[in-house]
Amino acid sequence: FLKKDCKNVDLKQKPVAIVSLGDTRYYFTSRASEHLRKFIMSHNGTVLGQPLTIINEPQGQEERINKWGEKLIKLISES
């Protein structure tokens, strides 16, 4: 989709946050976030912070998710 339908998109410095979901049953768990980050940067977008990567179930990861959300809110308010 990104390489074909969106190849000429200009994100015009729009800020983008990346959330990546994965499952350890698969070899390339959560690797799409790397491709998405490259796409955003090569199409004049701005990546806000680090991607939030959730592997398997989100239960037990709430503290990390909340911290990521707090950082994202700060980045949004500063931009």
Question: Block means of pLDDT (10 residues each) for the chain, length 79 residues?
Answer: 84 94 76 89 95 86 93 93
Task: State residue 40's pLDDT score.
Answer: 94
Task: State residue 56's pLDDT score.
Answer: 82
Task: State residue 75's pLDDT score.
Answer: 94
Task: State residue 62's pLDDT score.
Answer: 92
Residue 29, C-beta contacts closer than 8 angstroms, at least 6 positions apart: 22, 23, 55
Task: State residue 45's pLDDT score.
Answer: 96
Give the C-alpha separation, 13 to 18, whole Å: 15
